[in-house]
Structure 1
Amino acid sequence: MSTQSSTVQFTHLTNKPTTLLPITQSSNPPIQQPSTGPTKPSTNPPTLEPLKCQNGGTFNGFNCTCPVGLNGMLCQYVELYVEPVTFNRSVLVNVVINEKYNDKYDDTTSSYYKDFVGNFTHQMKTYYLARKIPNLKEVVVIRVSRGDPLIRSSNNIVETIRLWGETMAVYSVPPGPVGVSVTHDVILAIPNNASAGQIYEEDVREIKEAADALLSCTEECPNFNITALPTVNTMEPDLGYQ
């Protein structure tokens, strides 16, 4: 019996190294993408479409300019009228101060005039307040001018004025320095009601009494004397409601 042998052949596998090709760098500079910077806002103002103003309003490039008595973006609303609580009404008072008139008072822009008016206004308002004039609001000087001739002070100034007038008439004494005539408004804030007329008349009487009392004033008086009875006149209402 013969024995047969078989031969198995093995194939030996070997790993060969992989050859890598070198990377060739280009000598040309890289291509850069264009840069886009931040967008600057336009300095031109935006164009506004004109508004369609109503009731006679006009477009001024921004909004509607409305006629008096109207408001709203398109002048579409009517302003509501509000009844004022008070209204101004004046009493016109003129006094002649026994103080030599300064020619520099002719220039109403001068410091002499302004100082005189400021002092007079302060003193008269203080005096009227002390007399408790109802509804008093303010005192405003209207005019400063040359007044009557100066007279000497007296304990009885009314009698002095009378005698001075008689002397001037009989002996024709040439006039000397003149006093200062000051016309001023006493402005009242009259309540706006059905009794407004009566309230004003009562206030006028109070002002008349206070003005006449300047001739023989003994308490809380201005620092000047007057040469004659003041004149007091009523004025029409100021419907400006200031």
Structure 2
Amino acid sequence: AETGTTTLADTATTPVEIGTMTPADTATSPAASTTAPLETSPPPTSTAMPTSATTTTPATTPWTTTPKPSTSTARPALTCENGGTYDGEKCICTSAFNGPLCQFANDVIATNVSTFKTEVDVQVRVTNKIFTEELNNKSSLVYIDFELQFRLQMKTVYQSVAGYQGVIILNLRQGSIVVDHTVIIEAPLSNNLEATLASVTEQVVKQLEVVNTTGGNCSGQLCFTAPSNPVLKNATTNFSAADTCKESAPPGFAEYYSPHITEKGVLSCLTRCSQDVPDFLNCHYGQCQLKISGPQCACANMDVFWYPGDRCQTRVSKVGVGMAVPLVILFIGGIVLATFLIRARSRGSKARYRGQ
């Protein structure tokens, strides 16, 4: 046979199973399908994609990974109340609150207030000076000089009054110079405010009496005398312990705090959860907690005990009740059974008696 010419004899020497060729065979042997065409037999039907150089490598199935559920042990963030902040583990409360979520207000507010301002209006007369019209003008040099000198000497006059803070000139008028002025005192706190104010007035008057006895010895200074009743207005104050507590209390809780002066003379603001108040809320087997709705008792071990009252004053063991109920049922059942047996036996005895 000539080169390049293919005969039937040539094809016979190369066994080809016609009709049994698979798509895989055609995909892996392109040369065989092109060099031995048989016009008498149509090519086998195949749904495979046309062969190409890229189809000689079997496709590989990619590995698929199923994501595992997260096993993170991070705690859910807490919602802190009343200005508390979450640090990743717990709520950090402000100084006025406590509790796991900062939901409870503190029982006690320490104000550190130990004194209060009080004022006494009194009158003295400067005997060695003459009143002039310039003293009506508080901006004049004459008035400023007199005021400075008066304050300096009053500091000496009132130095024995505990808590003396200074004086304020109210009015100057003729006669030599009559000076109406306010004496400012920082008085110590006490549970009896009225008694403290009376004591302040008394101390001021006492010092003015001393002025009357030493008024003649005032060379180079202002000479003072005081009238027999120098007080224009007794000691007064704008201080209110109750108002101070309301201002110190956190918003929404002011009505639950009342003032209390400690033994050291310091103002504290207490709630009914404090044992130092007359109407102390005794929670017995629980703890008093101040919520926005007011003081309430939180009973202890609620999973173990029942508390019939609202102050945790009586508790009943759940275990005891659980054991007692079956025993009571058995006891009642025993009574019923015994009653039934007694009646049955009684009826039997009556029947035998009648039969005789």
Give TM-score, length-normalised by structure 2: 0.33
- Using CA pairs below 8 Å that are at least 6 residues apart, which structure has the higher relative contact order? 1
* Structure 1 or 2: more helix by fraction: 2
* TM-score, scaled to structure 1: 0.47
